[in-house]
Every structure is written in C-alpha cells, then in structure tokens.
Structure 1
C-alpha cells in the first residue's frame, strides 16, 4: 500500500461529536451535519474534513466511545450553530490513500501496523484520523493519517 509522510501543522477545527459505538449510521449522520454546517458557513469549497476517533475501542466501552467529525477552519471563522471549536494536533503522519469502502478500510487496518513497522517508524499515541477533501470524496476515496515518529 502506498504511504507518504506528511508534516501537518496544528489546525483549528469546528466539529460535532457522537458518543456511542464507532461506525454505522451515526458516523454518516455526523458527516452530513458537518457538511451542512460547512455549506452554511461557505466553507465547502476546498474544505478538509477529518474523522477523529477519541477513544480506543479495546479500552473504552462502545457506548462511551467519542467520535468527532470536523472541518478545518481559518482563524476568522466564527464557530456557531451547535458546532464546537477545537484544535487538531499537528505532527508527523504517515498518509495512506484508499477506497472509501468498508472492505478497503478493513483490509488497510489488517496490514497498516506492519507497513508502518517495515518503514522504520512507530505509531504515536494519538488518534488515527480519516481525512477527506472534495476531490477525494468525488473519487470515493479517503486518506488515513497515522501519527508516527
């Protein structure tokens, strides 16, 4: 699987949060909520959307898992309409681009740890994040950002 290394700066985000089991309809609803908020704030063109799991499902009960869907925003954007304001921690990330299907993502999770290890990197203790742009969405693709050192 193709992997690039990217140094990502700290980013200001507006986000909505779901608390409950990861995946399924709730994530899709959250994505639509973020897109709707971004459209209302004239941010959809060239926007970057992030899916950020805040808890590890092996250590947190499913009903307590937090998942944020966020849009990257500029300093002058006012965060209103029920969105919360936050910061995406920057740093060094291994970036994988893959088809946005359950099968492709499941397959990626299976091999990603060994791909990272083979490249001589190790995973930092931060969330693995999904990244979407308009172009990626049109291609039915997403990027997975793995925090590395």
Structure 2
C-alpha cells in the first residue's frame, strides 16, 4: 500500500467502491477482472491490495458476507426454502451452502432457522464469547416494543461524503461522531446538512472488529468535493421507516426489534441496499442527556410468493 497520502486516499476510495459493488452483487458471480477494474488495479495486484485494506482474502470476505446475509434471510423469510436462499446468496448448491453455513455458525441452516435468537447467539461460531447479548452496546436485549409504528416510503438517491469507522458499534460510534465526524463537518462547512449513519454489518453475526460504519453528510447542490473526500451515493427506493427518539443503547434495541419482530411479520424482506439512520437538518439532540432523534430506514423488497 502506498505511503503517499494522496495515493492512499485514492486507493481507499477505490477499495470502498469494490466493497459496495460486492455487497450489491452477492447473488451473482463476481469476476476478478471486473472487481480489479472497479479497484483501478491490475488483476495481478488486486488480491494484495484487497487484503491490505480489509485484512481478509477475497474468498473469505465473499463467504462471510454471503453467509451473514443468508443467516438473516433464514430468520426473516420463513416461507423461502433453504435452497432458494442458498442460490440467492451465490452458492452453487444447497449442499455447499449447508456445509459452509454449519462451519461458520455451528448449526445447519434448518437448525438455525428453528432455533431461538438466544440459542443462535450462543452457538454461532464467530469467536465472540464476550458478546453474548443481542444489543449493539453489549447489554441484554429484552422488552421489544410490541406496536412499533413503521411506515413505507420512497426515498430518493442521495450523494454523501463520509468517514468510516471499523470496529464495534454502540458507544464507540457515538464517540466517533463526537471526536472525528463533527469536527470534520465543521472543517468542511458541512455541519448544517442532513446526516446519515450506515452500519454495513450485522453485529450479531459479524466479529465486532470487522463491523463497518459510515458517518455521512448529504452534499448540497453545486458542492464540489475535494479530491481527497470519500463520497458515495446512497440508493433510493422503498424503505421501511421507524421514527426513533432515545439514547445510544435504545437505538440498538430498536434496530434489533425491527429485524427480530417487525420484519418477519411484515410481509417484506430486506434487499442488498444499505440500511441506515437518517438525521434531518433539524434532528433533535440533547448534549446534556445524549438523547437524540432520527429515522431508522430499512431497505425492503416484496417477498417472493
């Protein structure tokens, strides 16, 4: 990896573009030549660059992401067959999927689907013994809201600039906003604009050290981002939206409730677009208590009949 700051920033943008491309095409064959083109490197150098930035081989990353998605689908889409979900996750056969799934999570796909959430957490094979609970912040999750008011809405695509945090969610994200993201917004004169928080990985299924989070700000019309600024487009489309107000531990519980309670009973499934928190320009925040408001947005699609 280059030590020159401009070259390093350029390579970081390209690798992030590769990760977005992979996450949105996990149900399709991913060709090395095409991925190298997205990364703006030769196929010969791609694996070295990918591992340098992610800490994983490409094959390991693809397998982890596909299995993580499939684990969510198994819980959220009870009517879909294991084979259907295996093929959607990019596996060539149900047998190959079942072997890989059990090697990672310690349960077969059918056992995973039938187990309670607590049992899945206890038995999954991710070396997270310290992360027994279900909330992002590590506290025990209980008392889900029985009547969450969730609405469906079409959201436009939006171009954002962002900073990335890799590591555990929860309080670490609040500190990332306070210590890095907000000062950066001040420096870029972007503080007044709408903000987004994108957690790319499910912390119940992913090693906390590998969880990726992007703190984003919407770019105003006519804004020309500097060459070293990370930018991307958050896709538009149909989202399920929950209006949240509370604290950092409570938003972790709200995310869990949406996926564990609302989604399976909703008749909708999640697709490959990122889910995010939306903070409008007038979003509430009380620095004295840490209470804040936002919209939790799940990218949804109709379930196959």
TM bucket, shorter chain: 0.7 to 0.9
Q: Aligned pair 1:6/2:153, yes or no?
A: yes
Residue 253 of structure 2 is aligned to residue 104 of structure 1:
no
Structure (1 or 2) with the larger CA radius of gyration:
2
Specify the alignment match of 1:43 in structure 2.
190
Instruction: Specify the alignment match of 1:79 in structure 2.
Output: 225
Deviation at 1:10, TM superposition (A): 1.5
The gaps in structure 1 that reach 5 residues or longer are none
TM-score, scaled relative to structure 2? 0.43
- Cα distance in 1 for residues equivalent to 2:183 and 2:284: 15
Q: Which runs of 4+ in 1 moved over 4 A?
A: none
Q: How does 1:1-149 map to 2 (within 5 A)?
A: 1-25=148-172, 27-32=173-178, 33-45=180-192, 47-80=193-226, 83-113=229-259, 114-138=261-285, 140-149=292-301
Find the residue that maps to 2:174 and give its secondary structure. helix
Of stretches 93-102 and 112-121 in structure 1, the one that deviates more from structure 2 is: 112-121
Take 1:59 and 1:103, find their aligned partners in 2: how far apart are those partners? 18
* 2: CA distance, partners of 1:90 / 1:36: 28
TM-score scaled by length of structure 1 = 0.81
* Higher share of residues assigned helix: 2
Aligned residue pairs, count: 147
* Structure 2, gaps ≥5 residues long: 1-147, 287-291
Query: Of Structure 1 and Structure 2, which has the larger fraction of its residues in strand?
Result: 1
Matched-pair contact (CA < 8 Å) for 1:124–1:148: yes
CA distance in 1, matches of 2:247, 2:227: 30
Shift of the alpha carbon at 1:89?
A: 1.7
CA contact (8 A) 1:13 1:85 kept: yes
